[in-house]
């Protein structure tokens, strides 16, 4: 993932990455976990990058 983010940044593509300790990919909405609220952060990112 780090390589992919570095390459995208080099192309001028804005990226954002969040690591949630103890969780693997596929944690759903994150309710009751350290990922709680991730979907709201993602929506904000998407809204800020829509043209």
| pLDDT at res. 24 | 86
Asked whether residue 26 carries a pLDDT value surpassing 90, the answer given is no
Nearest partner of 48 among 11, 5, 19, 14, judged by Cα: 14
Q: What pLDDT band is residue 46 in, cutting at 50, 70 and 90?
A: very high
**Residue 10 φ then ψ, to 5°:** -60, -25
d(CA 4, CA 21): 20
d(CA 35, CA 21): 9
**Taking residues 6-35, what's their average pLDDT?**
91
**Taking residues 17-33, what's their average pLDDT?**
89
Asked whether residue 51 carries a pLDDT value surpassing 80, the answer given is no
**Taking residues 18-46, what's their average pLDDT?**
91
Cβ within 8 Å of residue 41, ≥6 positions away? 16, 18
């Amino acid at each position: 993932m780090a390589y992919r983010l570095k390459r995208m940044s080099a192309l001028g593509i804005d990226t954002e990455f969040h690591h949630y300790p103890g969780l693997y990919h596929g944690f759903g909405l994150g309710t009751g976990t350290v990922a709680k609220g991730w979907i709201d952060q993602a929506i904000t990112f998407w809204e800020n990058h829509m043209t």
